[in-house]
Structures are given as structure tokens and as C-alpha cells.
């Protein structure tokens, strides 16, 4: 395949050149010609196979077998952890500049493979081609950003003050050092960024890693591991295992060999991990990203064209299967009807179908469980309120063998309804007319979560929103997405309250030290 001159970035996603589509379609043909193969785990630099297997099928058409993967067990988890432990001393003592060089090489390889990896993301997750390519591109940039932060902080080695000891010379140095073996458990919706981002941060800081993806997306994570391997990162420094969360996943979480964990997933599972990691012989670091119920507030002074566009993009991109998706909209009454009308008009223009087809904005939801949840939620909302779009799964023609759920706008749902509080993780957005901005803010903050939030209004209302909203990522007057759109070095991503544990955002200035603990080195010499 010819090398592309196109560089996908946050900005170019909204106006890609024709070259991007050509390269994607070439990669699509290549990947489709190699479907159905068996893929091993990667442990200590070697292919590793288990006794049990599982099929990885496309949610767009479940007749399509993407590949056969290993259904790992506790013994496979232990082998991976053992390999990571064995590799840790040499990797942690390697010059940080050499680790940076290797991780940068992995990012370069990812850039070279962006179209093949993007196609796999589309096939596994159901992302349209722009969202899929964006996931891969963001991952490469996350790797580079971790390298940049390591360099900007000179390896996190800092001279401290000198003790004024008569007759002695004292040297005090602060050194941030890696913890050891780090576990990365990632979700299906961003299988690249939410695996590769934390993996890169852990690696460049000197930790060794075990990566365990969601069972819906093993192929994408396997390709990330191959980028690490082909960059020359030593055997055992990174390890890739697959299988169920209740088996291999739980064995990893329960192991005393794990020194730290980055987990992205449900609130309930994440909270259990946090409690477990606090109950051992000592407290181990856990970086937890646990979802969102993200509000958008629309002032009577808002530009409604921008507001409607930003809300629809954030509510329905990736079929609403983003922890950052806008799922609750609170609009002041004078603009409510016009806003809703604009949202309905835009939503009806979105095409749904095979996510690898250029014209489709929406693909399927990820699996049968989500498909059933959509039907349950829509039935509930129909009884309690009114659906202006969507509400019924698509089953005819091309949709018959996939999990297709149309974009749904719900209105007139009572304030006390449980779905104002529940993270649905589906293409469903609820809209309410509210008397004042103060009440909007109160309802926006009245949830367990605090991940992302958006506002549309006058410029002089922005500070009111920023100061009042309880969320880690906030956007004002952004048509590209009301609550979505993180990118390393520009819009770091992380949550407050029940959405996150660290208080620091991935892809930001303060993320990398989460993978390190501090050692103060005091050396005394006689003068």
C-alpha cells in the first residue's frame, strides 16, 4: 500500500481530503481478504495459545467472522504477570531517553498502519471511518505526548534544596520512579486510545505492562501490541492477554503481582477495583475512568445552530457509546422548542448502516446486550415521555444481521425518572425545558458522575458555567461537539466524582506522574 501524505488530526477529521477515503478503502480490501484467522496472546514476546477459543464477529453483520481469539484463564494471566515482573528490572533501569525512543518508534509504526488499524476498529466496534481513524491517530499522539512530557520534565529528576550543615555537603534529589507491573484493562468503545494511551504512559515511565482488552475488541489491542513489538520494546515489557472479565480479567485484578492499574469501564466494577486495591498489604495506585452522564446547558442567548449541531454530534457519534456522550440537555424555555426542532432535523439526516461505508455516520451498537438495553430503555421512555426520533431497532434488509439502533431524542420525561441518572451508553438523548439557568445547573450537577459538560450561551455567561459545573472536561459554544472531543495536549480527558479517581486528565500536563512514585535521595559528604 502506498504511503499516505494525509495526517489525521482533531481539525482535519471534519474536512478530510479524498486521499483519506482512498487509503481507507484500500486497507478495507486488504483486511477483508484476511478475515477469520486465529490470533494468539502475546506473552514474554511469544505467541501464546489457550485451550479454549472464542469467535470475534462484527456487530454490523454477525455472519462475518473477524477472527478467532484465545479465551484465557487464570494460568495465562499469571504467565503474563510473571513475564512482566521478570522484565521490570532491566526496563526500569534503562535510560529514560531510550524508553522514549522506543515508544516514539511505536507511535511512528502506528501512523504507518493507521488505515489497517482503523478498518479493524470499524469492523470490531462499529465506528464510522472518521471516528475509527481518529481513535488510532489519537493513540499515536498519546504515545508521543507521554514522550514529550518525559522530555519536558527531564525524566522527572529534580534537584532539591541543600541542607546548610556545617562541616558537611548535603545533596537532595527528587526522583520519580516506576511502580513495577502495571495492568491496563480497556473498554470496547475506544480500543486504541484507552489501551495505547495508558500503556504508553506506563511504558515510558519505566513500568512493564499487561494489557487486557474488552472481549468485543481483541483484534485492535492485538495490533497495538504488535506496534510495541515491532518498535523493538523488549520481550516481557508488554504482554497481551484475552478472555472474559470474570476469568482472566479477575485473575489479573486479584493478583498481588500487580503494582498499579488503569481501568476504564463501569462505575460498579471500577469502584470494586478501587476498594480491592486499597485493602491489601498497602494501597496500590488505581487510575479509574468510570463513565459519565454528561449534561448540556443551553441558554436563551445561545446560537441554536451551533448548539443543535454540537449536541447531535456528541449524542450520536459512535451510537452514543462514549462515556463523554451528551445524554442530558437542559434548555431554557424561550429556546427549547426551536432547539429541539433543529436537533430533530439534523438527526434525521444522519445515515445508519455498514460503518465502513463512506456515507454512513452511524453503525451498529457493539453487541446483543446493548441492543436489548436499547429496546428496554426506549419502551420505558415511550411510556414516561415522548420519542421524537428513533425508538425501534432496525431489522429489515441490510440491518437484519446486525445490531442497529436508530438515534433517539426523548422529551417530556419527568424530572424524577431514573434514566436522567442512568448511563445508557446508547444513541439516546433526553431534552428538558427548564425555567432558568440556575435550575439547569442544579439538574446538571445532580448526578453521580462528573466527566464532561457543555454550554451554549453568551460569552459573558461562560465563567458562570465553568465555575459552577462539576465536571473534569468542559466546553463552551463548541459546534464540533458539545461534550466530546478530547485530544492529547489540547483537551485532556478525565472526570470528577464518580467518573474518575485521579483528579488528573489523560493527555494532560499532570497525567504521567500518576505512573510514578517519588523517592528523595539525600547524600551526605564530609566537607
Per-residue pLDDT of the chain (527 residues; tens, 9 = 90+): 445 566 666 556 667 889 999 999 999 999 999 999 999 999 999 999 999 999 999 999 999 999 999 999 999 999 999 999 999 999 999 999 999 999 999 999 999 999 999 999 999 999 999 999 999 999 999 999 999 999 999 999 999 998 888 899 999 999 999 999 999 999 999 999 999 999 999 999 999 999 999 999 999 999 999 999 999 999 999 999 999 999 999 999 999 999 999 999 999 999 999 999 988 889 999 999 999 999 999 999 999 999 999 999 999 999 999 999 999 999 999 999 999 999 999 999 999 999 999 999 999 999 999 999 999 999 999 999 999 999 999 999 999 999 999 999 999 999 999 999 999 999 999 999 999 999 999 999 999 999 999 999 999 999 999 999 999 999 999 999 999 998 999 999 999 999 999 999 999 999 999 999 999 999 999 98
- Backbone dihedral angles phi then psi of residue 355, each to the nearest 5 degrees: -70, -15
SS3 475: strand
pLDDT for 527: 84
pTM for the whole thing? 0.95
Reduced 3-state DSSP string for 277-316: HCCCCCCCCEEEECCCCEEEEECCCCCHHHHHHHHHHHHH
**Residue 443 CB contacts under 8 Å (≥ 6 apart), including other chains:** 295, 328, 330, 415, 420, 432, 434
At which residue does the C-alpha cell 515511565 appear?
205
- In whole angstroms, give the CA distance from residue 476 to residue 459: 9
At which residue does the C-alpha cell 472526570 appear?
495
End-to-end CA distance of the chain: 66
Q: Which domains does the chain have, with CATH numbers?
A: 12-290+505-521 (3.40.605.10), 294-485 (3.40.309.10)
The Cα angle at residue 220 between residues 218 and 225, in degrees rounded to 5: 90
pLDDT for 2: 45
pLDDT for 6: 64
- In whole angstroms, give the CA distance from residue 212 to residue 251: 11
pLDDT for 162: 86
CB-CB contact of 435 with 333 (8 Å): yes
- In whole angstroms, give the CA distance from residue 176 to residue 199: 18
Cα separation values, 325 from 113, 189, 195, 424, 429, Å: 28, 12, 19, 10, 9
Question: Which grid coordinates belong to 346?
Answer: 439534523
- In whole angstroms, give the CA distance from residue 126 to residue 120: 9
- In whole angstroms, give the CA distance from residue 457 to residue 264: 32
- In whole angstroms, give the CA distance from residue 383 to residue 361: 29
- In whole angstroms, give the CA distance from residue 118 to residue 192: 9
Is residue 23 within a helix (H) or strand (E), and if so which, with residue range? helix 18-32
* CA gyration radius, the chain: 24
- How are beta strands 157-159 and 41-43 bridged, if at all? unpaired
Q: Which of 124, 138, 289, 461 is catalytic?
A: 289
- How are beta strands 428-434 and 326-332 bridged, if at all? parallel
Is 470 annotated in the active site? no
Question: Which grid coordinates belong to 460?
Answer: 459573558
Is 378 annotated in the active site? no
SS3 67: strand
Question: Distance of alpha carbon 157 from its chain centroid, rounded?
Answer: 30
CB-CB contact of 114 with 134 (8 Å): no
Q: Which of 323, 378, 405, 440 is catalytic?
A: 323
Strand boundaries in 120-215, DSSP class E:
157-159, 168-178, 181-185, 208-212
- How are beta strands 294-298 and 326-332 bridged, if at all? parallel
- In whole angstroms, give the CA distance from residue 152 to residue 156: 9
Amino acid at each position: 500500500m502506498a504511503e499516505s501524505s494525509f495526517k489525521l488530526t482533531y481539525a482535519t477529521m471534519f474536512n478530510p481530503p479524498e486521499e483519506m477515503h482512498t487509503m481507507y478503502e484500500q486497507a478495507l480490501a486488504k483486511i477483508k481478504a484476511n478475515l477469520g484467522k486465529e490470533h494468539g496472546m502475546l506473552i514474554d514476546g511469544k505467541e501464546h495459545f489457550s485451550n479454549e477459543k472464542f469467535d470475534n464477529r462484527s456487530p454490523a453483520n454477525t455472519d462475518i467472522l473477524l477472527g478467532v481469539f484465545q479465551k484465557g484463564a487464570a494460568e495465562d494471566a499469571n504467565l503474563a504477570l510473571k513475564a512482566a515482573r521478570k522484565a521490570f528490572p532491566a526496563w526500569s533501569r534503562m535510560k529514560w531517553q531510550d524508553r522514549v525512543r522506543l515508544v516514539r518508534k511505536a507511535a511512528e509504526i502506528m501512523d504507518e498502519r493507521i488505515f489497517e488499524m482503523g478498518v479493524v476498529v470499524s469492523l470490531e466496534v462499529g465506528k464510522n471511518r472518521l471516528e475509527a481513524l481518529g481513535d488510532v491517530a489519537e493513540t499515536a499522539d498519546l504515545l508521543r505526548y507521554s514522550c514529550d512530557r518525559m522530555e519536558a520534565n527531564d525524566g522527572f529528576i529534580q534537584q532539591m534544596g541543600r541542607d546548610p550543615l556545617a562541616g558537611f555537603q548535603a545533596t537532595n534529589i527528587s526522583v520519580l520512579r516506576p511502580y513495577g507491573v502495571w495492568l491496563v484493562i480497556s473498554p470496547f468503545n475506544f480500543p486504541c486510545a484507552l489501551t495505547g494511551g495508558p500503556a504508553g504512559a506506563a511504558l515510558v515511565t519505566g513500568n512493564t505492562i499487561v494489557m487486557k482488552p474488552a472481549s468485543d475488541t481483541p483484534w485492535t489491542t492485538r495490533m497495538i501490541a504488535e506496534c510495541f513489538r515491532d518498535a523493538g520494546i523488549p520481550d516481557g515489557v508488554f504482554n497481551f492477554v484475552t478472555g472474559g472479565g470474570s476469568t482472566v480479567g479477575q485473575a489479573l485484578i486479584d493478583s498481588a503481582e500487580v503494582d498499579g492499574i488503569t481501568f476504564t469501564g463501569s462505575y460498579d466494577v471500577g469502584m470494586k477495583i478501587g476498594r480491592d486495591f486499597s485493602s491489601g498489604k498497602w494501597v496500590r495506585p488505581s487510575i479509574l475512568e468510570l463513565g459519565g452522564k454528561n449534561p448540556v446547558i443551553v441558554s436563551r442567548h445561545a446560537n441554536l445552530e451551533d448548539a443543535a449541531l454540537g449536541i447531535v454530534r456528541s449524542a450520536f457519534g459512535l451510537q452514543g457509546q462514549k462515556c463523554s456522550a451528551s445524554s442530558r440537555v437542559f434548555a431554557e424555555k424561550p429556546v427549547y422548542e426551536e432547539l429541539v426542532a433543529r436537533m430533530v432535523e439534523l438527526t434525521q439526516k444522519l445515515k445508519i448502516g455498514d460503518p465502513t461505508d463512506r456515507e454512513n455516520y452511524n453503525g451498529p451498537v457493539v453487541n446483543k446486550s446493548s441492543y436489548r438495553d436499547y429496546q428496554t430503555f426506549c419502551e420505558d421512555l415511550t411510556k414516561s415521555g415522548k420519542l421524537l426520533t428513533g425508538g425501534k431497532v432496525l431489522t429489515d434488509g441490510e440491518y437484519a444481521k446486525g445490531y442497529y439502533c436508530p438515534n433517539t431524542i426523548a422529551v417530556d420525561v419527568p424530572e424524577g425518572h431514573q434514566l436522567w441518572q442512568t448511563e445508557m451508553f446508547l444513541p439516546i438523548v433526553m431534552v428538558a425545558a427548564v425555567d432558568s439557568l440556575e435550575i439547569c445547573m442544579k439538574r446538571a450537577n445532580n448526578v453521580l458522575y462528573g466527566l464532561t459538560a457543555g454550554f451554549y450561551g453568551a460569552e459573558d455567561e461562560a465563567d458562570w458555567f465553568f465555575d459552577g459545573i462539576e465536571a473534569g472536561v468542559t466546553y463552551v459554544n463548541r459546534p464540533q461537539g458539545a461534550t466530546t472531543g478530547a485530544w492529547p495536549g489540547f483537551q485532556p480527558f478525565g472526570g470528577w466524582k464518580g467518573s474518575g479517581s485521579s483528579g488528573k486528565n489523560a493527555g494532560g500536563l499532570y497525567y504521567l506522574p500518576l505512573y510514578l512514585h517519588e523517592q528523595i535521595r539525600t547524600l551526605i559528604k564530609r566537607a
